[in-house]
Amino acid sequence: GSQPPGVPADFPAQLAASMPDSRVVLDTSGPALTAAVTHPIPGLFVLRMDGEEAEGLAGRKLDTRADTADFAQGLVRQGVAQRVIVARGADGNVLAEAEHRLFAKAPKVEVRSTVGAGDSFVAAFVLALARGQSSAEALALGSAAAAAAVTTDATQLCRREDVDRLLPACTPVAV
């Protein structure tokens, strides 16, 4: 998300440099996101952004999943991160690696609040990877967690039973 006022745009790079043996996952916006793309953080494991942020960086609309995947994979191939994830809102999530591009559809749910959806996605994605699951499995779990999160009030977290119920609808496909 956004950084507090007064924090330098390159703070994520400074933080990553202070933890050289860590796998860094960056989900940020604004000047910090621009800095991470224009001055890549060495070894960045995952960079996540939403569709509007991706379009801002691309300088054009990313109307289709393929457009989004092309953009994300271009960032990977430029060395910005090992994986780039772009959240396409109610459509779903695109994940690009150097040789693979996946899309996980967002299940249809009643949206109560979008607060915390991105954080829920990142937490579930990282949890899946920490458990040794594949990028595809992590993308599915992250997508289910984000969808579960939007069904709750802004002051609540997603519920495991909702994530488990929504997970089958989030099976990734190549894009």
- Give catalytic residues, as residue numbers: 119
Buried b (16+ CB within 10 A) or exposed e, 8-39: ebbebbeebeeeeeeebbbbbbeebbebbbee
Provide the terminal-to-terminal Cα distance of the chain, rounded to the nearest Å: 26
3-class secondary-structure state, position 63? coil
